[in-house]
């Protein structure tokens, strides 16, 4: 277990290189809040990295910085050698949040067509229906978000994030508002969907179980905005529901949970 992720080098394709990244907020005059502090992190192309940590440790901020939604105070983020804004401009980023952030006036189908329209590309109907099928929403194409359950809304958001076949997938607590049973089922589905694609993925989560089940590597963050531990997850893929019941998995979950509470 390494203290930092430096040897987790990118091979080819879209890896993420974060160097000496800091993010400071100035909420009032004379008050400085450090959300991220001199953080170094490398994510290999096609790897699944999960980030766990206590509330306010800066994990969501980190994701926002990688998505180009906020600007770093210092340091750099390079995705396949380019800044995040460049990736966003080329529509190569997929994203899903805890609040599904579906447009309430559009059907499931139209919400999935939206990324194509925003990118100014023709909507690939086959891919939309394939994704709807993949996340188990066949028959709900015309339903409005308000007519769906929380789990179904999150499935729609995940499907939407994959519409343009992104190079990088960013997931911020995508299942955070769901009950445990639904959450496990969606984790199993997400692992299956991800395995077929192997998109470089960052997942921010509160759930250690979710992080270890899904990721190749899990980092534990601590306040303020630094990496406390790096865990290389040893379990082979495909990961199945049986993994959730196996002793080695429980051991690792307990271990990481202890680190979280330090």
User: Would you tell me which residues interact with another protein (CB under 8 A)?
Assistant: 64, 67-69, 88-91, 93, 95, 97, 99, 101, 103-105, 114-115, 117-120, 145-146, 164, 170
Q: For residue 83, give every residue at least 6 positions away whose Cβ sits within 8 Å of its Cβ, in sequence order, or none.
A: 68, 76, 77
Nearer to another protein, 34 or 70 (CB): 70
Nearer to another protein, 190 or 231 (CB): 190
- Residue 244: CB minimum distance to another protein, A: 30
Give the three-state DSSP class for 96. Answer: strand
Helices (H) and strands (E) in the chain, counts: 8, 9
- Residue 89: CB minimum distance to another protein, A: 6
Q: Residues 118, 42, 200, 96: is their CA dihedral positive or negative?
A: negative
Measured at the CA of 224, the angle between CA 68 and CA 43, to 5 degrees, comes to 50
Nearer to another protein, 96 or 230 (CB): 96
Nearer to another protein, 112 or 190 (CB): 112
Burial class (CB in 10 A: 0-12, 13-18, 19+), 124: middle
- Residue 166: CB minimum distance to another protein, A: 9
- Residue 66: CB minimum distance to another protein, A: 10
- Listed in sequence order, the DSSP H helices in 104-162 are 108-118, 125-134, 150-162
- Residue 200: CB minimum distance to another protein, A: 15
Rounded CA separation 22/253 (Å): 29
Nearer to another protein, 114 or 193 (CB): 114
- Residue 63: CB minimum distance to another protein, A: 10
How far are the Cα atoms of 100, 167, 185, 235, 262 from residue 121, in angstroms, in the given order? 23, 17, 33, 39, 49
Nearer to another protein, 67 or 159 (CB): 67
């Amino acid at each position: 277990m390494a203290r930092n992720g430096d040897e987790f080098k990118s091979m080819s394709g879209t890896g993420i290189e974060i160097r000496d990244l800091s993010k400071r907020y100035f909420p009032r005059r004379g008050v400085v809040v450090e959300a991220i502090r001199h953080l170094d992190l490398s994510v290999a192309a096609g790897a699944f990295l999960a980030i766990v940590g206590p509330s306010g440790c800066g994990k969501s901020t980190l994701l926002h910085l990688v998505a180009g939604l906020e600007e770093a105070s210092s340091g750099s983020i390079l995705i396949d050698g380019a800044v995040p804004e460049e990736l966003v401009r080329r529509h190569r980023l997929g994203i899903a949040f805890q609040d599904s952030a579906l447009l309430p006036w559009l059907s499931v189908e139209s919400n999935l067509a939206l990324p194509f329209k925003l990118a100014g590309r023709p909507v690939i109907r086959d891919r939309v229906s394939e994704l709807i099928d993949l996340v188990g929403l066949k028959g709900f194409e015309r339903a409005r978000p308000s007519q769906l359950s929380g789990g179904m809304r999150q499935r729609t958001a995940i499907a939407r994030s994959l519409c343009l076949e992104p190079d990088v997938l960013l997931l911020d607590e995508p299942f955070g508002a769901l009950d445990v049973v639904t959450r496990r089922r969606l984790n199993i589905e997400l692992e299956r969907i991800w395995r077929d694609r192997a998109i470089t993925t960052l997942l921010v989560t509160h759930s250690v179980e979710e992080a270890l089940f899904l990721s190749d590597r899990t980092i534990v963050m601590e306040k303020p905005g630094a990496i406390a531990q790096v865990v290389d997850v040893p379990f082979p893929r495909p990961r199945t529901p049986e993994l959730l019941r196996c002793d080695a998995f429980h051991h690792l979950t307990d271990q990481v949970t202890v680190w979280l509470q330090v």
